[in-house]
DNA sequence: TTGACTCCCATACGATCGTTTCATACGATT
DNA sequence: AATCGTATGAAACGATCGTATGGGAGTCAA
């Protein structure tokens, strides 16, 4: 009702469809798929109850669509951060710089307090109760980003065993996800968050370097305070 | 119907109540509070639909009760692992030993494949959508365990700044939670899991030691390959 | 035997859910 | 002007939800 009742056909349709996606994203993030009713979504979007089935064919497909809309850009954004940082970073502290840049990029959607907060919650939910088509989440976001980050770390620290790096990337991301959960519940002060990121970077950089040959002695890559 | 229809009054009642708790725990863990119906629970427990309201006063209180039943023993079990390991461990690798013991204790409920798997999922859910009374989860499990582990690490590595240790404990637990999620979805082979635990221990031990004085130079506690 | 109490059952109630149906209004096309 | 496809609206459908109700079976004390 904010715009003219119908506008031109195509334009009006797009508006309703997008308003549904926006409301759905917010509500699905807040309460989950099962606990969000179509009536809630359409009411918040200022649309008719039947609009969801008309535009998307059902509640579940609206859920998938509201997810798909974000997955691609999030993936490209994160990978771009990685390759960009890798391109212009050299020196003994390159690993820390890379991890810091990725961490900030990773948590950025959460800090802007805008619609970004939603996506992070949707991701956490999807990790617990997968509702997306098989492999969509892993294939379109998690897998590529993980691979890109591991590759970048290996470019910086070529002496580390690839297997160790892959696991360390998991450890690093696990901490970021955990911090994201914490921030999501109690939106901490910006400075406090920066300190937390700095901790994760230092903690993880040491962890990345903590292994040269898996079984026996510790890493001694001479890059350790060169 | 497995036992005699009623048995003695007290005994029969206890049986139904406990069967409800068991089924509720499993189903709440699998699908969440909202997505689990009272009818499902009572059907699986072989009880009447009204039994939930009779014994617990409602669905939500059954949820809380099925949680409370486990929180205390889990907390004591984890703290006991910490203090016990701390008591009988000395030497340069004491930190690794402590972390390994805690990690195995932490993931143990997941590996037994019995009812333990449930609790882990319930915890992950509770971290996303808190349904328990305010502070119950944090106060009865998370807080005490976190404090106990931080204290133990400080006893082993007294030179580390307490602030850093507290954050590092978070980082360590974040990795365990992440691994728990992974194991929960795709129950990996036992050996694969052991290797993953070993990685987390080494990664985290390095992270714990990665800081002597927060801003400037790295930790050099001389314990690093003494 | 009676009454009180505990536990369980079958059933019903009101609410809410996702989805479907049918009717209408508008712009574009012929 | 007549027609068609698109977008929306109001209303209803059948299903399922959590909870409430009333009664029956069992035990125990008086």
Nearest CA to B95 among B174, B175, B203? B203
pTM (predicted TM-score): 0.89
A142-199 pLDDT, tens per residue?
999 999 999 999 999 999 999 999 999 999 999 999 999 998 877 666 778 999 999 9
The span from the CA of A74 to the CA of A102, in Å, is 12
B167, B181, B198: best mutation site toward chain A, by most A Cβ within 10 Å?
A: B167
∠ CA B208-A178-B190 to the nearest 5 degrees? 75
CA distances from B68 to B25, B40, B177 (A): 11, 21, 20
The C1' atom of C30 and the CA atom of A6 lie apart, in whole Å, by 24
How many angstroms separate the Cα of A29 from the Cα of each of A87, A121, B140? 35, 5, 27
Contact A92/B at CB under 8 A = no
> Residue A137 CB: number of other CB atoms within 10 A?
19
Check if residue B6 sits with its Cβ under 7 angstroms from strand C: yes
Q: Are B114 and B107 in contact, with CB atoms under 8 Å apart?
A: no
Helices (H), chain A: 9-31, 38-45, 51-56, 59-87, 94-111, 116-128, 136-137, 143-156, 162-185, 190-208
CB pairs under 8 A between A and B: 101
A222 band by pLDDT with thresholds 50, 70 and 90? very low
Query: Within its chain, how far is the Cα of A10 from the centroid?
Result: 32
Contact, B49 CB vs strand C, < 7 Å: yes
DSSP state for residue A140 in the 8-state scheme? I
pLDDT the model gives residue B113:
59
Which residues of chain B have a CB within 8 Å of the CB of A128?
A: 121, 124-125, 128, 181
- pLDDT category at A14 given cuts 50, 70, 90 is low
Q: Do A203 and B167 touch (CB under 8 A)?
A: yes
Residue A226 burial class via C-beta count within 10 angstroms: exposed 0-12, middle 13-18, buried 19 and up: exposed
- Closest by alpha carbon to B98, among B85, B117, B113, B107? B85
Q: Where are the strands (E) in chain B, listed by range?
A: none
Q: Chain A partners of B175 at a C-beta cutoff of 8 Å?
A: 170-171, 174-175
CA–C1' distance A16–D7 (Å)?
9
Asked if residue A119 lies in contact with residue A70, where contact means CB atoms within 8 angstroms, the answer is yes
Which among A129, A167, A174 is the nearest to B174, CB-wise? A174
Residuewise pLDDT in 10s, chain B (226 residues): 333 333 333 444 569 999 999 999 999 999 999 999 999 999 999 999 999 999 999 999 999 999 999 999 999 999 999 999 999 999 999 999 999 999 999 998 877 656 667 888 999 999 999 999 999 999 999 999 999 999 999 999 999 999 999 999 999 999 999 999 998 877 666 778 999 999 999 999 999 999 754 443 444 444 443 2
Q: Tell me, what's the pLDDT at A116?
A: 65
User: What's the token pair of residue A204?
Assistant: 């993880």
Closest CA of chain A from B34, distance in Å: 6
Nucleotide nearest to A49 (CA to C1'): D9
Which residues in chain B have Cβ-Cβ distances shorter than 8 Å to A202? 207, 210-211
Angle separating helix axes B94-111 and B116-128, nearest 10 degrees: 100
Q: Could you give the CA distance from residue B137 to residue B74 in angstroms, rounded to a whole number?
A: 12
Confidence tier at A223 by pLDDT (50, 70, 90): very low
Q: Tokens for A171?
A: 């450890």
Tens digits of residue pLDDT in A106-124 = 998 877 756 667 888 999 9
- Two tokens, residue B45: 């427990």
A window 198-217, beta carbon within 8 A of B: 199-200, 202-211, 217
Cα of A117 to nearest chain B Cα, Å:
13
CB contact under 8 A, A127 and B181: yes
* Nearest by Cα to B60 from B136, B153, B173, B169: B136
Question: Which of B196, B210, B216, B218 best probes binding to A when mutated, by most A CB atoms within 10 angstroms?
Answer: B210
């Amino acid at each position: 009702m904010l715009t003219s009742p119908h506008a031109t056909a195509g334009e009006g349709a797009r508006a309703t469809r997008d308003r549904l996606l926006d409301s759905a994203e917010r509500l699905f993030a807040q309460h989950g798929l099962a606990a969000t009713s179509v009536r809630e979504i359409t009411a918040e979007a200022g649309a008719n109850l039947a609009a969801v089935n008309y535009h998307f064919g059902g509640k579940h497909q609206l859920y998938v669509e509201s997810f798909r809309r974000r997955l691609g850009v999030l993936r490209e954004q994160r990978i771009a951060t990685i390759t960009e940082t890798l391109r212009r970073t050299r020196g003994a502290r390159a690993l820390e710089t890379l991890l810091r840049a990725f961490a900030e990029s990773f948590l950025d959607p959460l800090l802007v307090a805008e619609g970004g907060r939603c996506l992070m919650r949707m991701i956490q939910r999807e990790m617990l109760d997968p509702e997306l088509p098989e492999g969509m989440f892993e294939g379109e976001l998690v897998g590529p980003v993980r691979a890109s980050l591991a590759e970048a770390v290996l470019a910086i620290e070529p002496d580390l065993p690839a297997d160790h790096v892959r696991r360390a990337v998991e450890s690093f991301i696990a901490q970021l996800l955990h911090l994201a959960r914490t921030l999501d519940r109690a939106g901490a002060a910006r400075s406090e968050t920066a300190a937390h990121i700095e901790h994760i970077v230092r903690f993880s950089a040491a962890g990345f370097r903590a292994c040269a040959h898996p079984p026996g002695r510790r890493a001694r890559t001479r890059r350790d305070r060169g």
